[in-house]
Amino acid sequence: MAFDFDKFENLKRRLNAVVVAHNYQLPEVQDIADFIGDSLEMAFRAVELSANVIIVAGVRFMAELVAAMNPDKIVLHPDPSAGCPLADKINLNLISEVRSKFKGIPIIVYVNSPLEVKASADFFVTSSSVLRLISKIGVDT
């Protein structure tokens, strides 16, 4: 069955919905998106949008972040099993071990980390913001 773009757009209008898509998505997914960006850009843009429903075309941590930043909106994730291998490697136990081993050192995690890991860390960063943060907090690189 072929995708009906007009029907999809009508449904989005009726539900006051938008699609935010990660820039790694396939072109045909990007074609139906209202916004395309990296994971952090998607989350910040979703906050600015006046939509009631946000559809996240990305992996699980992206949908978690969009939902956390938009508690009053309905956030849909078409494929909740879509994960990120990097994000799936870190968990709360590892954060706890690192905190115990390196007392007093701030815990910095990547934006791709699961929501509960970001919440337990002191900071979360993107690849473009990590050096700026480290220089601000005075951690020796």
- Boundaries of CATH 3.40.50.10800 in the chain? 5-76, 87-137
Amino acid found at 112? N
DSSP-based three-state secondary structure for 79: coil
Instruction: Quote the CATH superfamily of domain 87-137.
Output: NadA-like (3.40.50.10800)
Q: Is the pLDDT of residue 138 over 80?
A: no
pLDDT digit string (tens) for 14-25? Answer: 999 999 999 999
Q: Is the pTM of this model over 0.85?
A: no
Size of the chain in residues: 141
Summarised one tens digit per residue, pLDDT across range 37-81 is 988 899 999 999 999 999 999 999 999 999 999 999 999 999 988
Q: Judge: domain 5-76, CATH 3.30.70.360.
A: no
Q: Extract the tokens encoding 139.
A: 């951690």
